[in-house]
């Protein structure tokens, strides 16, 4: 048995599975940016 592990986040993966931690991180950053922009517009 092999231990497949993401080098970036440490998640355990199945054989041949690719981790989506980087795409999730980018999506979260985009949501935070959009929320901050919305709050900034609400103050005006």
Q: What pLDDT does 41 receive? A: 86
Pairwise CA distance, residues 26 & 8, whole Å: 14
The answer to whether position 5 is within a domain reads no
Range of the domain at 35: 20-44
Q: How far apart, in whole angstroms, are the C-alpha atoms of residue 4 and residue 34?
A: 35
Query: Do the domain assignments include residue 9?
Result: no
DSSP assignment of 18-40, as one string? ---HHHHHHHHHHHHHHHHHHHH
pLDDT of 1 higher than 60: no
What domain count does the chain have?
A: 1
> Has residue 6 been placed in a domain?
no
**29 in a structural domain:** yes
Let me know if residue 30 belongs to a domain.
yes
Confirm whether 41 is domain-assigned.
yes
Q: Is residue 38 part of a domain?
A: yes
Task: Tell me the pLDDT tens digit for each residue of 4-32.
Answer: 999 999 999 998 999 999 999 999 999 99
The residues that bridge with 37 in the sheet, in sequence order, are none
């Amino acid at each position: 048995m092999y231990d497949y592990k993401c080098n970036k986040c440490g998640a355990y993966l199945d054989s041949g599975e690719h981790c989506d931690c980087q795409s999730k991180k980018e999506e979260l950053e985009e949501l935070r940016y959009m929320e901050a922009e919305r709050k900034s517009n609400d103050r005006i």
